[in-house]
Amino acid sequence: MSQEALSLTGKLLIAMPGMGDPRFAHTVVFLTSHSEEGTMGLVINKPATGVSLSDVLDQLSEESSPAKRQLAVHFGGPVETGRGFVLHSNEYRSAMQTLVIPGGFALTATLDVLEDIAEDRGPENALLTLGYAGWGPEQLEGEIAQNG
């Protein structure tokens, strides 16, 4: 990314009609980070049908109790699909680590945020994704320039 280029962090990337890569056809990606090192984003419009927050917690913790609050689970992208990422409103901060994103958003990828959501003491607004979309340095810029 050149110094003149604007950061796309916190912006939406909408797939063009006729997207060649079926993993990204008809997707909306929220870009969580965009820098010279590369770009990371979460697909936010592809629900993971049949998967709930309770299912995820059951797999991660032996002592999970029924969730007081449910949360839809989405397919976040093709990279590390076994890893969860919670995109949420920025009033919540994990005791472990939370990345603040411009525009009132935040990203947390630790178990405590899921436990807090299940106990109804987590962020006011949240979206759980499994996996993420990633691009190397200047890869996304090249794809955008080629309308791909």
80-126 pLDDT, tens per residue?
999 999 999 999 998 889 999 999 999 999 989 998 998 899 999 99
State whether residue 118 is helix, strand or coil: helix
In this structure, is residue 131 part of a structural domain? Answer: yes
90 alpha carbon, distance to own chain's centre: 14
In this structure, is residue 44 part of a structural domain? Answer: yes
In this structure, is residue 1 part of a structural domain? Answer: no
Q: Report angle CA 52, 72, 113 to the nearest 5 degrees.
A: 85
Closest by alpha carbon to 73, among 131, 10, 1?
131
d(CA 11, CA 60): 31
In this structure, is residue 2 part of a structural domain? Answer: no
Give me the CATH number covering residue 112: 3.40.1740.10
**In which domain, by residue range, is 91 found?**
12-145
In this structure, is residue 137 part of a structural domain? Answer: yes
31-57 pLDDT, tens per residue?
999 999 999 999 999 999 888 888 888
In this structure, is residue 118 part of a structural domain? Answer: yes
In this structure, is residue 7 part of a structural domain? Answer: no
Q: How many domains does the chain have?
A: 1
Q: Which residues contact 66 (CB under 8 A, 6 or more apart)?
A: 54
